[in-house]
Structure 1
Amino acid sequence: MTNRFEPGHGRPDPALSAIMSERRQLINLAYRLLGSLADAEDVVQETYARWYAMPRRQRDAIASPGGWLTTVASRICLNLLGSARARRERYVGEWIPEPLPERREWTDGVTADPADRITLDESVNMAFLVVLESMTPAERVAFILHDVFRYSFAEVAEIVGRTPAACRQLASSARRRIRASQAPATPTTAQAGIVRDFKRAWEAKDVSALIGLLDPDATVIADGGGLVGAVLRPIAGRERIARAYLDVARIAPDLTLLERTVNGQPGLIAQQHGITVTVFAFRIAGDRITNIWAVRNPEKLRPWTAG
């Protein structure tokens, strides 16, 4: 991070290091709230713009700059979540949260600053983010701030403009949604083996093997954003899914499938001519795949694509 200087002064802002050290926390918070790295980056940029728009004396009077930044970023996210529903009604096809690679797999030059990288844990796996999408904006903010980032309900109340008791209820409601959606835990190594078997069966065009790896009620959701080809509605049922993927193999024989970490869990990417064109995230219950999320919207593949 290069030094920034306070306008009108010939020396660095003495509070700069403390202020900029919050950047990673803000990126992590905003991504979990919005499900979009691009939107999270915009939120953090706007948050810092508001900080530096204040007179120096007013900034110096703030006892907890980190708390101020978190409050402002959270409120911006809350406003964005309120308008996101209307935007997604106009979205072409299904909307899936933006997938993230493992830290060491980030493409050089796309997110060069380590402070911009997301900490990968269970609160960013794709199944978790998809459930968050079903929550109200207030539920989502209260839950993420309290359960994930460990803010007290009094602090959450100040951010969302509700009472602590109301925020406690919001987080409790969100928690019930999460519990209702959770599958029995499958060890990561077992998940990786199932994803690898899926990849091999797909490459071998083995429909029986594909069907055997899928739950009878499995679903596939694809997100092309209207920018590239993708099924506009979910595909349900393992036979239909298996045959759909065999169709893809026939239509695009030059696809290269690679095992990658997607939002902290085993996943796949598909490349054509060395460029990532699809990222696949999986939800696995026991020894069967129950959900596949296929992100094809190129605007959501920046960290995966050389450029």
Structure 2
Amino acid sequence: MGELATEFEAGFEAERGHLTAVAYRMLGSRSEAEDAVQETWLRYATALADPAARAQVRQLRGWLTTTCSRICLDVLRSVRVRRETYPGQWLPEPMVRELPAADGFAPDPAERAVRADQLGTALVVVLERLTPEQRVAFVLHDVFAVPFATVAEVLGTTAAAARQLASRGRRAVTAPDVPRHTADLAEQQRVFAAFAAAVESGELDRLVRVLAPDVVLIGDSGGHFPAGRRPVVGADKVARFILGLFRQVDRRGGRLRARPVLVDGAIGWQSETVHRDGRLLRMVAAYAVHDGRITGVFHQLNPEKLAGLPPFGPDDAWPPRPAA
């Protein structure tokens, strides 16, 4: 059984990335997604120990996806009350990684797959509007192309009902007030470079031109730092808010470390400085980009959601150092 067990374990590990992606989109929390994947492994290992149960694992990815989705559905139902009592605005725990190439924006096949999978903080934020059942149906079918018959099996309903749940989720995701995020990484590079240059210049009009007229900014501090309890909406208001943040650091004479990163598969910004009360203030900013402008800005400041960030390098300072 040793070699067979190793083979089964290797099969699971090959699907771990896929399962984590499914769980994260459903739960909006990296730690909860990892817990769901671990629970999926435990159920898979239990099934392998029972010949009758092992016989049900005919198509590994399908079986694991179904099992993981059921676990996520249970979690979603239990966290809804917690989210309703969350202090201030809620944003997902970001998935942050270093840029994949020297320039950070090479549109390789892996990054095209990221876009096809609709990665991005904006999507996870809007999924919070859905019921657990709508969210599971939409993510499985619209993001991962799982057939409605399988979706129905996960939800314990009919294929027709699953189709309706996904349709309701789709309408919410494409509602007019949802920040659109359609740009590939090359376009994100251009927009983000213009955004960073405008912020560094401190010129309000220049920053406004990079923002969509109806841009929305959401900040989540989890009650640990001051943050708005409502979104900031509109290019002028968002621009003034962002420039105000940088001026606060300048007035205190504080050091700001910052660099571009990938946040949930899209271009983002990782920074840290010292808060006026002496605490380390870390932030991950994610952006939604559509039609050459930023449509959504998402500031994650809650230290409980920022564990395991990539370390800064010696050149990660603000303003950016000129190229040698």
* Shared fold (TM-score, shorter chain, > 0.5): yes
**Deviation sequence 1:131-171 (CA, Å, 0-9, x none):** 22211111111122122222211111111101011111112
Query: Taking structure 1 as the reference length, what is the TM-score of the superposition?
Result: 0.81
Distance 2:72 2:173 in 1: 20
Answering whether residue 283 of structure 2 is matched by residue 278 of structure 1, we say yes
1:185 is displaced (CA, Å) by: 4.3
Aligned to 1:163: 158
Structure 1 residues 57-96: aligned runs within 5 Å: 57-64=51-58, 65-96=60-91
Counterpart of 2:27 in structure 1 is 34
Give the share of equivalent positions with the same residue, in percent. Answer: 37
Shift of 1:10: 10
C-alpha contact (below 8 Å) 1:269/1:276 kept by paired residues: no
Deviation at 1:261, TM superposition (A): 2.6
Q: How many aligned positions are there?
A: 287
Task: Please state how far the C-alpha of 1:291 moved relative to its aligned partner.
Answer: 1.7
Q: CA–CA distance in 2 between the matches of 1:288 and 1:206?
A: 17
Alignment of 1:30-179 (within 5 A): 30-54=23-47, 55-64=49-58, 65-102=60-97, 120-121=114-115, 122-179=117-174
Pairing of 1:185-204 with structure 2 (within 5 A)? 185-186=182-183, 188-204=185-201
Give the AA of the match of 2:283.
T
- Gapped runs of 5+ residues in structure 2? 101-112, 275-279, 313-324
Q: Which amino acid aligns with 1:134?
A: R
Tell whether 2:290 aligns with 1:297: no
Matches within 5 A, 1:197-216: 197-216=194-213
Give the match's secondary structure for 1:210: helix
Residue aligning to 2:103:
none
CA positional deviation for 1:94: 0.9
Counterpart of 2:284 in 1: which secondary structure? strand
Taking the TM superposition and a 5 Å limit, the aligned residue runs for 1:241-260 are 241-253=238-250, 254-260=255-261
Aligned equivalents of 2:143, 2:282: Cα separation in 1: 31
**For residues 3-38 of structure 1, what are the alpha-carbon distances to aligned partners after superposition, in whole Å with 9 as ceiling and x for unaligned?**
xxx7xx798555322233332221111011111111
SS of residue paired to 2:209: helix
Task: Give, in whole Å, the separation in 2 of the partners of 1:149 and 1:186.
Answer: 20
Q: Kindly tell me: are residues 186 and 31 of structure 1, through their superposed partners in 2, closer, same or farther at Cα, counting changes over 3 Å? A: closer
Could you tell me how far apart the structure 1 residues matched to 2:56 and 2:181 are?
46
SS, match of residue 299 in structure 2: strand
TM-score normalized with structure 2 length: 0.78
> Secondary structure of the equivalent of 1:15?
helix
* Aligned residues of 1:195 and 1:268 also touching (Cα < 8 A): no
User: Which residue is equivalent to 1:21?
Assistant: 14
Deviation per CA, 1:267-305, whole angstroms, max 9, x where unpaired?
A: 2222338x8811111223333322211111123223424
Q: Is the 8 A contact 2:98 2:261 kept in 1?
A: no
How far off its partner does 1:256 sit? 3.1
Superposition deviation, residue 239 in structure 1: 2.7
Distance 1:226 1:120, change over 3 A: farther
CA shift in 2, pair 1:255/1:193, >3 Å? same
State the secondary structure of the residue aligned to 1:68: helix
User: Which residue of structure 1 aligns with residue 229 of structure 2?
Assistant: 232
Q: d(CA) in 1 for partners of 2:123 and 2:267? A: 15
Cα deviation for residue 190 of structure 1 reads 3.3
1:182 positional shift: 6.6
More off after superposition, 249-258 vs 32-41: 249-258
